[in-house]
Chains A and B, each alone.
Chain A
């Protein structure tokens, strides 16, 4: 076992998981007793079947097979012995199952049983915990063999004596598995002998009469191709795991089981489908990059009948095989692709996710083209019920005819080139689903970046448009990047969405116009209310069209919308818009502008979340045909081409405006001439005024002089007065002076006379002295 594991790359291991609905503890123990593991022989058988049935991989069909002679008699004996023990166990299981069935029939609620599908029994769980991350083959073979026995019992009990070839083939495989010797041998063979392995397998099956081998299965084997090393290596890693549970509460344990042990996928809130008792699940161990397939194991009477009556009785196996093959191919090409699967299972949603009629989906996968052409209504019906999430991405691609190797090749080329939009894309990548786990890590962001960059190179006219990242983000949750790229190309080209993203956004304007008109016709009260409140479709529906609702709507709801869209085309998008409005009609009519916009963008999906189908069913009530859309489109074209009455009015208004402008122009030129004349006049006036001004200035000067002289004159008079006054005074003073002079003279005379007298007196005195 260890060796086998080592033989193959970790990322290429594929498991085969079967799920069934009912079991009891006794069965479980029986299963545990079988200490065998699934050999590569069994896996080879699975591989063979796949090869035979898959149109993609049947290149080696009809390759001549060697006769297997290598088996020794001893080994055959061993096989027989082992087969006998299987038979005994079969009996035990029948008994155990009989009890179980009685119980189930008594309460007639086998539906509940069916839901319990995915929880492994506690013992298996515990057992598994002792192993490393991957479910070991021996674990799985215990379980599957028990399941197969039980499945047959169930069928027998329900009178389905004819055994399902699918069950038979699985039983086959298990019986081979049970041979412990096969393990090593097959291992060796896988290395050394390309051809004998399958033959040996056949031989063993044929020799062992205890195991019923249906003709179908045998024929299939006869046609099995030569097995190549690579195939063996891959099939070596196929594990079969059966998880069952009878108790509802077990489902929660199941979650932890998967997460703790294999991290296959999150099963929280797994829906309890009403119609199916078992389901197929493609799953992946993220850490070990380990694909797991859980095929249908149908135990319900009616479904079993369907199964048996169908010619494609191994169909679900086949398509799952095909899917595994595809996943493996993808992995070989691009190991990074694994990321997508990890998240695609975590993001699935669980509430209300209807796994639907898995048989039908199996048939669809095989004959999608003819079904889409011949059974249009049936396909539409199934799509409206929702595509089982594990195959959703694949079905989308089939619906969109997006499986295109040439395109993928182009992608692988483009991804190496650099785009002028890179900077802008890079800026938006971290802003796409920023709270989604897948897009917060580097891997998801890088994948998104590469797809967007490649598309911007592939379609240079569109380049990169904001909003596309959300769309592609959703694709990447369902499929690897090259396939996402192809689907994006189809979405843009075949689904007529390309114009929406052109630099002019012409498609968006087109869509919004069409939507407006459809609202008026289908939801007149809403149309009126919106009109009253001034709400235009561009205000709330731009993001619906540009991101296909992924911008705000929960992705599980958008998945369902895409299921319908890829089947029906662009008409469904309008129906969905109308359904969103219709579903909220009562509330919408009560809201005013502010709240309307807020509600339409943020909360309009909430009413559908309890039952995702309600939106889809509501949308199917609207009649929007391609003819209607193209009619509206033409109407819009006319509107744009100005032949629309409104536009004509605008045109005539424009004409009027033009003629009035011409009239205005004439008037204006006249007015201009007048003004020029006036200006000339004014100029003359100005010069006249200047002259006048000059004269006035002179006068002013003269006056100034006059005033000055006048003022001077006044001053002179004053002076004269003063002078006169002074003269008079002078005269007076002169007279006084004369008087004083005369007085002085007289005084001088008097003085002289006095002097004379004095002299005489002196002489007299002298004389007297002498005397």
Chain B
């Protein structure tokens, strides 16, 4: 996957992506790594949700990820549907050193498969894989769960920049980009109003 560093003439395909998962598993850190190639040790908890974008080039197409990074605490759950509704992709994150967070991830997957759009591409990310000494969730367990549910699965480390870009790349590959780009062109010609449809001139840079 190639990140775009200069504005392109091509119209990017907008992909609404939402990050879900238990508090403090590293959702914001994954996004920060992907968008700014940066890492902060004690990242503040997200309140409500944060919005970030990143453009990438995948197979001759330019994708603009519109990322909604949600708050992890259970009581923010009621805000989540407005972010995963209409999302084309979701990353459900858990912390490999916290088995509770894996259970929570499973319930998110269940909710997404019940409530989100049918075509949504869901990836399961086992974050903090650099902390393998305190691992509580075995890779095989998560992997077999993912293949059973039809999810993408990767173990990542936002801290060590492991598999982060790869994760987004795999999601991009799995998306039916053709149909999205057609749909979006149609929408644009109809000049309809869509929350997720906007143009921006500045393109953030991402290392990949």
Contacts and interface: CB of A to CB of B under 8 A. Distances in A.
Contact of B193 (A431, A534, A592): A534
A503 B73 CA distance: 10
Interface stretch (A270-278, A535-543, A637-645, A721-729): A535-543
Interface stretch (B5-13, B124-132, B153-161, B194-202): B194-202
Nearest to B198: A593
A466 B45 contact: yes
Interface stretch (A140-148, A594-602, A620-628): A594-602
Interface string B166-208: 0000000000000000000000000001111011100000000
- Identify whether the interface residues of A are mostly helix, strand, loop, or mixed: helix
B24 interface: yes
B140 interface: no
Contacts of A538: 48, 79, 82
Interface in B41-78: 41-45, 47-51, 53, 66, 71-76, 78
B137 interface: no
Nearest to A503: B75
B194 A504 contact: no
B40 A539 contact: no
B51 A467 contact: no
Interface string A682-724: 0000000000000000000000000000000000000000000
Interface string B15-55: 00000000110000000000000001111110111110100
B45 A428 contact: yes
Contacts of A130: none
B195 A431 contact: no
B82 A542 contact: no
Contacts of B40: 434
B80 to A, nearest CB: 11
A546 to B, nearest CB: 5
A598 to B, nearest CB: 7
A44 interface: no
Interface residues of A, number: 34
Nearest to A531: B193
A542 B195 CA distance: 18
B198 A505 contact: no
A594 B198 contact: yes
Interface in B82-100: 82
Nearest to B64: A594
Question: Which residue of B43, B193, B198 has the most chain A CB atoms within 10 A of its CB atom?
Answer: B198
A267 interface: no
- B72, B76, B82: most-surrounded residue (chain A CB, <10 A): B76
Given A466-B76, A503-B74, A534 B194 contact: yes
A532 interface: yes
Contacts of B200: 592, 594-595
Contacts of A595: 200
A408 B47 CA distance: 29
A430 B42 contact: yes
Contact of B44 (A432, A534, A546): A432
Contacts of B41: 434
B198 A539 contact: no
A531 B193 CA distance: 10
Contacts of B82: 536, 538
Interface of B: 23-24, 40-45, 47-51, 53, 66, 71-76, 78-79, 82, 193-196, 198-200
29 contacts: A427-B23, A428-B23, A430-B42, A432-B44, A434-B40, A434-B42, A465-B73, A465-B75, A466-B45, A466-B76, A467-B47, A470-B44, A503-B75, A504-B75, A504-B78, A533-B198, A534-B193, A534-B195, A534-B198, A538-B82, A539-B51, A543-B47, A551-B44, A592-B198, A592-B199, A594-B51, A594-B53, A594-B200, A598-B51
Given A466-B73, A534-B195, A539-B48, 13 more contacts: A428-B45, A430-B42, A466-B45, A505-B75, A534-B193, A534-B196, A534-B198, A542-B47, A542-B79, A546-B47, A551-B47, A593-B198, A594-B200
